[in-house]
């Protein structure tokens, strides 16, 4: 079974190639306009620095044909660390289109062509996983951003998965952020409450047809997959359905054990993701 809808025209160009070319052109034109504006907004600390990326990602969702179904309610006010599973590079586009937020990313991303620039302009915090001594500096930066009211996204698995499962959540950065906010000078202006909000990401269909386990790789980007071919293939397809489910927020204070908090968030995300995958597949079969 195939769920590709590519068709060829008489000139030899496929409709899917035209679709991908149009998507790239659309994203490129908007990026050329917004990159200087975002650079100035970040440099001069303008309020627009939070909303320009949201507009850019919304354009990206339109260009890629991503259709979102959202369950639950996100926390809009206060300090919130969003802990999500990670399936694909499209997670950035999807989550970035929902609300002003920034990502906690591995340090290698900062050096990626084009995407590294986008990540910096999104005001991402970069983590060097090979240097445990850098955790403290990262934690202080996370704490600072939470105090300023920025929603931060942590892909708590530490890597991307195949989109069919949720990997164990790592608790190190969750705990480090709490430690930074509750010790020394950082505690003087720390927020009274910090929330952890679980968020599950489930890619359910392509062209309205359930992908199933065997086709989930069309959306998921993981392992040793090359980015450029995966990006091009998905742009050629378009019409991707994704379900996002916000879990119940977890109050995070000095008395909460970081491992218990990470485990609770992991269970919430896993339950929501599996339910969303099963629900969509069952609904399409008429159950």
Question: Which CATH number goes with the domain that contains 216?
Answer: 3.40.1130
Comparing CA positions, the residue from 173, 179, 233, 169 lying closest to residue 206 is 233
How large is the average pLDDT for residues 263-287?
82
Domain that holds residue 203: 15-284
Is residue 106 classed exposed, middle or buried when 0-12, 13-18 and 19+ CB atoms within 10 A define those classes?
A: middle
Residue 134 pLDDT > 90, yes or no?
no
> Which pairing describes strands 194-206 and 125-127: parallel, antiparallel, or unpaired?
unpaired
**Which pair of structure tokens corresponds to residue 160?**
């991307």
The span from the CA of 103 to the CA of 271, in Å, is 23
Asked whether residue 5 is assigned to any structural domain, the reply reads: no
Comparing CA positions, the residue from 28, 68, 76, 71 lying closest to residue 50 is 76
Comparing CA positions, the residue from 107, 176, 108 lying closest to residue 136 is 176
pTM (global) more than 0.85: yes
Asked whether residue 7 is assigned to any structural domain, the reply reads: no
Question: Do 109 and 132 meet the contact criterion of CB atoms below 8 Å apart?
Answer: no
98 or 284, greater pLDDT: 98
Q: Give the torsion sign (CA, 13, 4, 165, 150).
A: positive
Q: What percent of the chain has pLDDT over 70?
A: 87
How many structural domains are present in the chain? 1
Q: Which residues contact 72 (CB under 8 A, 6 or more apart)?
A: 245, 246, 247
Comparing CA positions, the residue from 46, 54, 98 lying closest to residue 72 is 98
Asked whether residue 135 is assigned to any structural domain, the reply reads: yes
Comparing CA positions, the residue from 39, 33, 159 lying closest to residue 108 is 159
Asked whether residue 32 is assigned to any structural domain, the reply reads: yes
Asked whether residue 114 is assigned to any structural domain, the reply reads: yes
**Residue-by-residue DSSP string for the chain:** -------B-TTS-BHHHHHHHHHHHHHHHHHHHHHHHHHHHHHTT-THHHHHHHHHHHHHHHHHTEEEEEES----SSEEEEEE----THHHHHHHTTSS-EEEEEGGGGGSTTHHHHHHHTTPEEE-TT-GGGHHHHHHHHHHHHHTT--EEEETTSS---SSS-PPPP-HHHHHHHHHHSSGGGGGG--S-EEEEEEEEEEEEETTEE-HHHHGGGT---TT--HHHHHHHHHHH--EEEEEEE---EEE-TTS-HHHHHHHHHHHHHHHHHHHHHHHHHHHTT-
What pLDDT, on the 0 to 100 scale, is given for residue 183? 53
Asked whether residue 3 is assigned to any structural domain, the reply reads: no
Asked whether residue 67 is assigned to any structural domain, the reply reads: yes
- Name the average pLDDT for the chain: 87
Asked whether residue 84 is assigned to any structural domain, the reply reads: yes
What pLDDT, on the 0 to 100 scale, is given for residue 177? 65
What pLDDT, on the 0 to 100 scale, is given for residue 164? 95
How large is the average pLDDT for residues 126-143?
79
What pLDDT, on the 0 to 100 scale, is given for residue 133? 67
148-167: pLDDT as tens digits: 889 999 999 999 999 999 99
Q: What percent of the chain has pLDDT over 90?
A: 65
């Amino acid at each position: 079974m195939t769920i590709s809808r590519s068709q060829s025209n008489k000139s030899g160009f496929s409709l899917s190639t035209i679709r991908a070319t149009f998507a790239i052109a659309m994203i490129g034109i908007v990026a050329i306009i917004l990159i200087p504006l975002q650079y100035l907004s970040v440099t001069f600390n303008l309020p627009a620095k939070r909303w320009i990326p949201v507009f850019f990602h919304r354009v990206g969702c339109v260009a890629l044909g991503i259709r979102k179904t959202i369950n639950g309610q996100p926390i809009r006010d206060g300090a919130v660390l969003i802990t999500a599973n990670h399936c694909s590079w499209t997670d950035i586009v999807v989550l970035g289109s929902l609300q002003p937020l920034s990502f906690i990313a591995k340090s290698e991303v900062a050096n990626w062509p084009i995407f590294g620039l986008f990540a910096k302009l999104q005001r991402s915090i970069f983590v060097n996983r090979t240097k445990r001594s850098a955790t403290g500096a990262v934690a202080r930066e996370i704490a600072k951003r939470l105090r300023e009211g920025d929603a931060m996204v942590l892909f708590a698995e530490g890597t991307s998965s195949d989109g069919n499962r949720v990997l164990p959540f790592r608790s190190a950065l969750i705990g480090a952020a709490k430690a930074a906010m509750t010790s020394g000078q950082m505690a003087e202006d720390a927020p009274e409450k910090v929330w952890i909000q679980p968020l599950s990401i489930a890619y359910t269909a392509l062209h309205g047809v359930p992908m199933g386990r065997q086709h989930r790789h069309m959306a998921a980007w993981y392992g040793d997959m090359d980015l450029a071919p995966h990006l091009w293939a998905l742009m050629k397809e378009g019409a991707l359905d994704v379900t996002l489910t916000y879990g119940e927020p977890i109050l995070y204070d000095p008395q909460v054990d970081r491992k218990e908090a990470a485990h609770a968030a992991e269970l919430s995300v896993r339950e929501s993701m599996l339910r969303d995958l099963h629900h969509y597949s069952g609904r399409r079969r008429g159950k």
